[in-house]
Amino acid sequence: MEVSERLQKVMTEMRYVPHAAARHLASRKTRVVGLLLNNLHNDFFVPLLNGVEAVVRQKGYNLIIATYHANIRNETQPPIGPHNTDGMLVFSDGLMDNDLIALNSLGFPMVLVHRTPPADAPIPSVTVENIEITKQLIEHLIRVHGRSRILFLRGPIHQEDSARRELGYRRALEENGIPYDEGLVLNGEFERNVSYAELNRFIENGGKGKFDAVFTGDDDAAIGVLRSLQAHGIRVPEEVAVVGFDDLGFAPFLNPPLTTVRAPTEAVGRIATEKLFSLLENDFSDGVVILPTEIVYRRSCGCAQATYS
């Protein structure tokens, strides 16, 4: 089957609407690249977009950013892809595995961001180390601050970052002789409003006093957690320690300043985009890049560190 026929078949299966650019199948040059996200709801995406946009601008291309919920793919079509871009970055669960496999089989240039590729599609990807650093963060609460009833606000159920942070959380408990308690795991969705509502519900349903620390899953959720604890008169860190993940720009300015994991989010965007342009320029770009992370200790966990470090 010719490439153009295969492309049309995949586009039909994925409900792509033909675009003028798709008619130029021989070159498929639009000088446009895409970034497909599942949402744009929190501050996490600012440094990521900064990294992406810097490379796109340097290369003289245009950037299309779109959100798409893969779990409702039967109702709506992906807004970007082969029909209007030369290649694209796919964040987290922006596309289902079968869609990624289909597009990869066509040779459509893609790089995955904050997720690893499906087994049947060796697509380049860039992410951060989640498991070991989360284990170290939870062990800090246990060994340094004596916390043992650590509540966890997990992120979206299908996101790889969320699953790996939960794995690190569970390993830390297991290796320190603390039984895993499903009752101390709430769905925070990596969003402040959801985390605020979930923790409120937990506390108001008899949860107050049942936990002495919270791993918020990410920094955006930490905003909701701190607000909920304050509303219920629970002192941080004296009664409950709080830690996050990402080290977003607001983290040192929260009250108290947030102990968190510093993730190189801007570098993820930049490196992923550089890998995409390597594909567009017919250079080899393969494999999974996992960037290192580190813990930043501030007062929310109980450490007496500098407030604005």
Which domain covers residue 102, as residue numbers?
Answer: 3-127+264-292
Determine the longest span between alpha carbons in the chain, in angstroms.
Answer: 67
Q: Is the pLDDT of residue 98 over 60?
A: yes
Considering the domain architecture, whether residues 190 and 268 belong to the same structural domain is answered as no
**Looking at the predicted structure, is the pLDDT value of residue 21 above 60?**
no
Domain of residue 178, CATH code: 3.40.50.2300
Number of domains in the chain: 2
255 and 272 share one domain = no
Look at residue 308 and tell me if it is in a domain.
no
Query: Region 29-33: what's the mean pLDDT?
Result: 93
What's the pLDDT tens digit per position in 243-266? 999 999 999 999 999 999 999 999
Q: Is the peptide bond before 237 cis (omega within 30 degrees of 0)?
A: yes
Least reliable range by pLDDT among 72-81, 155-164, 234-243: 72-81
| 113 shares its domain with 221 | no
Is the pTM of the predicted complex or chain greater than 0.85? yes
The answer, yes or no, to whether residue 278 has pLDDT greater than 60, is yes
Does residue 307 lie in a domain region? no
pLDDT, residue 126, reads 98
In a domain, 306, yes or no: no
Beta partners for residue 212, in sequence order: none
Residues 96 and 156 in one domain: no
Residue 158: the pLDDT is 87
DSSP 227: H
Q: To 10 degrees, what angle do helices 219-231 and 192-202 make?
A: 40
Task: Give domain status of residue 284, yes or no.
Answer: yes
Give the separation between CA 150 and CA 155, rounded to whole angstroms.
16
Asked if the model's pLDDT at residue 18 lies above 60, the reply is no
Q: Domain check: are 94 and 180 in the same one?
A: no
| Amino acid making up residue 102 | A
C-beta pairs of 227-235 under 8 Å, 24+ apart in sequence: 227/192, 227/196, 228/195, 228/196, 228/199, 228/200, 228/203, 229/199, 231/200, 232/200, 232/203, 232/208, 234/203, 234/208
